Chains A and B, each alone.
Chain A
């Protein structure tokens, strides 16, 4: 969507369909995502909206037999990923793109030591000997601030807490100095206090290592604290995109407005009930040629169902697929969150 000269990850026109003749699901529809060098881009949306599918499609990890992937462009620092062979994709996965997953309890292999699992990725991509890989594992465990890294290196995943395991996952993802880290809901499965530590760690490592991060989350609080820009996804489409400052200070899509409404406002953390977006996420089996959010939107008009809304620019670098961005903004302009960001 943007014309940024040098995004590290550039995805354009990504569509993913699952299933055979009988039951098709359009998981992604014409998705554009750019992650610029050194930035944290948050991909935000409810579960099931296609965030994880996006990540898996970028890595080429969707099941070939059921998933049909179309894209104008998927490139990483100029390297084409969309048309790449399995072999060259494998050289990129874990090496130039590191990935961490939602559930650290099950994402590590229970029968291998954590040090071994980190060393494995180093040996795979760097071709170094066992000892070098082992000392790299130690280095990485230190980097992610695991206390007594030397002792923990030979521990098995079940001997570590959830937070420690997620640190191990991060250490593993970063062991080959990737250009891009994809973090898919990295804190969802963790305790609240641990969540903050892990997000702080990711933010620090981004600064220290100068890498880029694609942060997949449903938590706008996390986005506000750590991300530079955000892309809001709904039902397989990007509906709004911009820097955190522009989007939070001038929300222009009904769905973003709804998400902000369900974010506990600063100083109002004890608010007893969060505002909820009424209705349910539409079934992705037959995408309507209309705004997918129309059925749940508070600002809906008859025109919303006339066709897929075009992209509008409420401000510089701020893009949105909504035909009534001003109505949305006008309604939210006096809310606490928006005022706090202005």
Chain B
């Protein structure tokens, strides 16, 4: 194996002990770090939804107020085109959350389907895994940049470009979980007793993949938020008019020496969102899956 390998401890631990899903989650309610992180995430979601109510127009140009100081109608000042930095930061939440959420779903669904297929079909599985190896040998960010740049620009492209490199990781995870479930004596017994394939999938494999997939999807969301910021920062993400944190940071580069705050506001928001997402991923992982089957990517 020359492509990136999954670390030994992730190679599908036999998951003998499965705590009831909701019970594990209820347990988290008493952990203050989890509660605070979840609250911050909810706050971000509310900000994204109610952006028009709490901020002005993020795209309105005001040439005479370029790089202006904070003012009553622009709490954080204005950028190089005189746009309201506060409004742009508020609206920028939308791109990050949409990309994060969409990628988590778009990586999980094909990932689960392909992963289960790969675990059940010997030849097909081998082919799929070689393809997965190859896809993972291409640095994810580069793949996303290339896809985003070569397809038609826009939010859907951004989401697809970031989802594709996330799928192979999900496939690997699901396949390894599915294989370990299939190897359990009670599942082998069910197969021997003539249990149907669909019953095997829906009764045994899917429920067992649920927890690790949720955890992995959380990490995929975090990684997608970073990737979308990187893409916007490099100028291959959404179009410049759509406010995004990565785009704001790209804009701020030219004025960094004298207006570093233009860089730090979006950077800080981005970092906080990623921090709470990662913390929630970690806590979910600890709570749902004592043997930690997921692979984590920053």
A and B touch in the complex (CB under 8 A): no
